[in-house]
Structure 1
Amino acid sequence: MPRGDKAAIMQYKFFLPEISQQRKIGSDLLTINKKIELNRQTNQTLEQIAQAIFKSWFVDFEPVKAKIAAKQAGATAEQIERAAMCAISGKTLDQLEQLDPDTLQQLKTTAALFPDALVDSELGEIPEGWSFIPLYETAKYVNGSAFKASDFSSDEEGLPIIKIAELKQGISAGTKFTKSVRPDKYFIRNDDVLYSWSGSPETSLDIFKWFGGDGWLNQHIFKLNFSSKEQKYFTYYLLKHMKPVLVATAKQKQTTGLGHVTIADMKRMKVPFPSVNLLSNFCQVVSSLYLKGSELVKENHTLTNIRGSLLPKLLSGEFIIGSEQTN
């Protein structure tokens, strides 16, 4: 391995701001770091809330089971709907009475979309009237393009090639760029949804919202195309929920530390699929959570870029902080 010249390194001279400036630089960077972490935690909370709703409606079928239990207890039609409303909202019957009329009506509308029976299927029991479809049919999955070393440009010319590293860390000094032009299906832009299907199963297989700007998608990552917002939100949270299953599938084929989920796997996996009206209602419920989370991700990209460009300029004395000049 190549080694640096320790003596030469120790003699390297650099600009050192006054201690007051060092403290101001540290304070400014700490403020940015705190905001990035706060955004990350808030986004995680939003994801957890949306995932809880998804699991209740489309995995555990809690509103359906609440109706079944009330029906078996001899409840009236209104009481059956109220039971589902409690399951959807997480509130008691007494607490429902305290809700404003608009919220109560929204709950009634949602509850009416759930059936009051489960039926047998090849997946086990699913709500009456629902279907089941292969995971691969929940979106149009387009695999990225294969790039060779000869495709890379010098001096960051062209567009970035988006690999798993960029999905996890954003554009960095290690990002490769290319001036080559590929078919439009490989082109990605802000707000695209991407799924990394190959790599180290525990750390690489996941679904991502992309907000790193225009780029070309590398192989081993799917770009997901959707026919509607309803399909987008449902599939995004479905893949989030299915991550443990997909990771376990990849581990079964893991070699030299890498594993993958194939198209054949995704065609084999079946998922319950609700009615169009319920899918639309789910979209209305989680859209604010999804969009707010996206805004936080975008803000963190901006803050990270500011931090990355600000630090060297502050340390070199190029920027003026407060009323004092640093060089």
Structure 2
Amino acid sequence: MSSEWPLIKLNELCLKITDGAHQSPKSVTTGKPMASVKDLTRFGVDLSNARLISEEDFTVLVKQGCKPEVGDVLIAKDGNSALDTVCSVDAELNAVLLSSVAILRPDKSKILTSYLKHYLSSVDVIDYLKSNFISGAAIPRVVLKDFKKADIRVPPLPEQEAIASVLEALDSRIKVLRETNTTLEVIAQALFKSWFVDFDPVRAKAEGRQPEGMDATTAALFPDSFEESELGLVPRGWHMGTVSDLGEVICGKTPPTSQPKNYGDDVPFITIPDMHGRLVVTSTGRSLSRAGADSQKKKYLPAGSVCVSCIATPGLVVRVSSEAQTNQQINSVVPLEKWGKSFPLFLLRRIGDAVRVSGSGGSVFHNLSKSGFESLKVLLVHQELAQRFDEAVEPLVAKIMENQLQAQTLTQLRDTLLPRLISGQLRLPEAETVLNDRDIAE
């Protein structure tokens, strides 16, 4: 039980507690990745958007101990997300870290990497750590010399291994669902690009070939030649339009926060943090009360609406899965039925990708007004072709949403079990029974 598990200082459990580089080398276009707190996820370090530094600077920082080793635990150390994100290094990571990430090297004879990672991820533990080891009002920071004194409850190694295995089974399933969704979205994006950006079927027909991977009925919907437009050559019969041609555009609004009655659990209230890393929004950090939402009835979005962030972090594009509202940083399109659901989503998603690549500072989305958003130029196709795209892609989007909802359920289960397991309040057989009931246990 928990009373039998001793509290031990973190520095007594680790062979090394340090952080990444305190100097920030110049970025280069080709080089080695340097990760910071923004690249940390619960499932590891995501280097896809990490900046690159020269080989020479990389070598220097490796010698300084800024490259984590397999078995290390990494934790967000600086910034608004300090102590919120923890992960382990489970495979060789060819990257160095900035000082915003702390590196913990567990003494495996005392504490297991997987147990320490999960322990530090518990909401109760995070609250304890934030209350005692964060300083700085403007920019929250963890001071390592103090952090080393944190008390960690340590069960025997066999118990640690058993606890970690239960939690790893949940994390593994969540990770698989996330990876599956990434693959499904890539497939949908690739089809949109082939049909509506690269014009592969049109090029095939123009060369007298049958378009690949489609039936004759679908192929017949594509023209067999091109014509000049303000975008250059586009398929004959397609035309330039604006976002407003896709459907009604609604700019969000925030009900007065000074009136608590505006907020509750009735209507999802989408803000930019809810849009990161998603194709479909199935949960939100905040919700409005029915009274709060009804105070701005013209801001309601029906399921299937497409939200586009236009201020602060521009270029994020998601679909609404249920009736919702957004704040004023987001413009949304309620698509006309003739366009289907997927064509407007991936058309705007394509624009959003270009915006994020170019950066928010100089993009057309930077502080974009509702009227400016409505007037953005888009290439429109025949509605029959949009409907055919919808038939091909909607099953993928539906599966993405199903997987995302399942991942949310598993995340809630994990976050419920975690504090009870590491405190000893929940015995392992009970936790394993829950996993077996949900067909999760390994």
TM-score by length of 2: 0.55
Residue 70 of structure 2 corresponds to none
- Conserved in 1, the CA contact under 8 Å of 2:310 and 2:368? yes
Q: Could you tell which deviates more after superposition, 241-250 or 279-288?
A: 241-250
Partner Cα separation in structure 2 for residue 46 and residue 9 of structure 1? 41
Distance 1:318 1:304 in 2: 19
Greater per-residue helix proportion: 1
Kindly indicate whether the alpha-carbon contact (under 8 Å) linking 2:417 and 2:431 is maintained by their aligned counterparts in 1. no
Match of 1:85 among 211, 215, 222: 211
2:197 paired with 1:197: no
2:352 corresponds, among 236, 243, 266, to 243
Q: What is the CA distance between 1:131 and its match in structure 2?
A: 2.4
Percent identity reads 28
Pairing 1:315–2:422 present: yes
Q: Which has the higher strand share?
A: 2
Q: Which runs of 5+ in 1 are unaligned?
A: 71-82, 90-105
Q: Deviations over 1:183-213 (max 9, x none)?
A: 3444568765432222134xxx3112456x7
Q: Is the 8 A contact 1:117 1:127 kept in 2?
A: yes
Select 1:127's aligned residue among 235, 238, 248.
235
Structure 1 residue 323: Cα displacement: 6.5
Give me the whole-angstrom Cα distance separating, in 1, the residues matched to 2:170 and 2:301: 28
Q: Deviations over 1:93-122 (max 9, x none)?
A: xxxxxxxxxxxxx61111111111111223
Q: Distance in 1 between matches of 2:271 and 2:218?
A: 40
1:318 is aligned with what amino acid?
Q
Residue 287 of structure 1: aligned partner: 394
Which letter does structure 1 place at the counterpart of 2:172? Answer: K
**Equivalence for 1:265:** 372
Structure 1 199/29 Cα, relative in aligned 2: closer, same or farther at 3 Å?
Answer: same
Identify if the C-alpha distance between structure 1 residues 249 and 122 changes in structure 2 by more than 3 Å, giving closer, same or farther: farther
Once residues 9 and 66 of structure 1 are traced to their aligned partners in structure 2, the CA distance between those partners, rounded to angstroms, is: 63
**1:9 Cα deviation after fit:** 9.7
Secondary structure at 2:292's aligned position in 1?
coil
2:362 to 245, 252, 259: 252
1:274 equivalent among 377, 381, 391 = 381
Asked whether the 8 Å contact 1:253–1:260 carries over to 2, the reply is no
Alpha-carbon distance in structure 1 between the residues aligned to 2:178 and 2:380: 31
In structure 2, how many angstroms separate the alpha carbons of the residues matched to 1:263 and 1:38? 38
The more displaced of 258-267 and 130-139 is 258-267
For residues 255 and 410 of structure 2, the distance between their equivalents in structure 1, rounded to whole angstroms, comes to 30
1:306 counterpart residue number: 413
Alignment partner, residue 100 of structure 1? none
- CA distance in 1 between counterparts of 2:339 and 2:404 reads 21
| Deviation readout 1:231-264 (Å, 9 max, x if unpaired) | 320011112211243344842269xxx9333334
Letter of the 1:51 counterpart: Q
SS across alignment from 2:408: helix
Contact 1:15 1:317 in 2 (8 A): no
* 2-structure distance, mates of 1:308, 1:187: 32
Aligned residue for 2:341, secondary structure, equals helix
Which residue matches 1:26?
164
Name the SS of the counterpart of 1:149 in structure 2: coil
Please say if 1:181 is aligned against 2:289: no
Compared with structure 1, are the counterparts of its residues 222 and 152 closer, same or farther at alpha carbon in structure 2 (3 Å cutoff)? farther
What's the offset of the Cα at 1:150?
A: 0.8
Number of positions where the alignment pairs a residue of Structure 1 with one of Structure 2: 285
Contact 2:252 2:329 in 1 (8 A): yes
RMSD, matched Cα: 3.8
Cα 1:38/1:192, change in 2 over 3 Å: farther
Give the whole-Å Cα distance in 2 for the aligned partners of 1:49 and 1:291. 14
Shift of the 191–125 alpha-carbon distance from structure 1 to 2, 3 Å rule, reads closer
2:316 to 206, 218, 225: 206
Are positions 1:220 and 2:358 aligned together? no
1:171–1:312 distance in 2 versus 1, CA, 3 Å: farther
Counterpart amino acid of 2:308?
Answer: Y
DSSP 3-state at the match of 1:322: helix
The 1:176–1:67 alpha-carbon spacing in structure 2 relative to 1, beyond 3 Å, is closer
User: In structure 1, how many angstroms separate the alpha carbons of the residues matched to 2:417 and 2:254?
Assistant: 35
Matched, 1:118 2:226: yes
Change in Cα spacing, 1:279 to 1:308, as seen in structure 2 (3 Å) is: same
Cα distance in 1 for partners of 2:182, 2:151 equals 43
- Tell me, in whole angstroms, the C-alpha distance in 2 between the residues paired with 1:319 and 1:85: 59
> Post-superposition shift, 1:18?
5.0
Contact 1:198 1:221 in 2 (8 A): yes
**TM-score, L = length of structure 1:** 0.72
